[in-house]
Amino acid sequence: MALLEDLPVPKSVLGLSLAIVALPFVFPSLRPLWATAVKGGVKLYLEANGEAQNEIIDTLVEGAVDQLVDAFAKPAEERDEKIPEIVSEFKAKAHRRSNRKGRGAKDRELLYDRHMSKLRRSLARLDNNPSTQPHMEEIMKSVG
């Protein structure tokens, strides 16, 4: 019992959690209902996690695009140094996030590709802007 007392959770919450987990074993007729509730909870968690991932990627892309737009206003020499630096910094962040959040090699690769495709889509929208159009070829070459 000392183990349960050491947890930083109120005893009533812990007791309720244990009762919920034990319920299908005590009353076998509740197993289908319990299984449905667990599946629903897992689906809800995965959906929320996916949306949170997309929000984080969108924030990273917005930051990189804002930096690139700011770099367009710089003199040519500074701009030529700054643009590849911004793109390589974004790629490094995308790799770090992919390695940290991916569950396997394939998942990490897909997550990195998602980062890069969102960046490419945002940059494609900039390509239609006359003020940024002359530099887009260089940027897209940096992005790959």
Task: Provide the 3-class DSSP secondary structure of residue 75.
Answer: coil
**pTM exceeds 0.85, yes or no:** no
For 26-83, the pLDDT digits (tens) are: 888 888 888 888 888 888 888 888 888 889 889 999 999 889 888 877 887 888 888 8
Helices (H), the chain: 2-6, 11-26, 31-72, 76-101, 105-127, 133-143
Cβ neighbors of 7 (< 8 A, separation 6 or more) are 14
Q: Is pLDDT larger for residue 118 or for residue 129?
A: 118
Contacts 24+ apart (CB under 8 A), 20-26: none
- Which residues are CB-neighbours of 59 under 8 A, at least 6 positions away? none
If pLDDT is split at 50, 70 and 90, which confidence band does 1 have?
very low
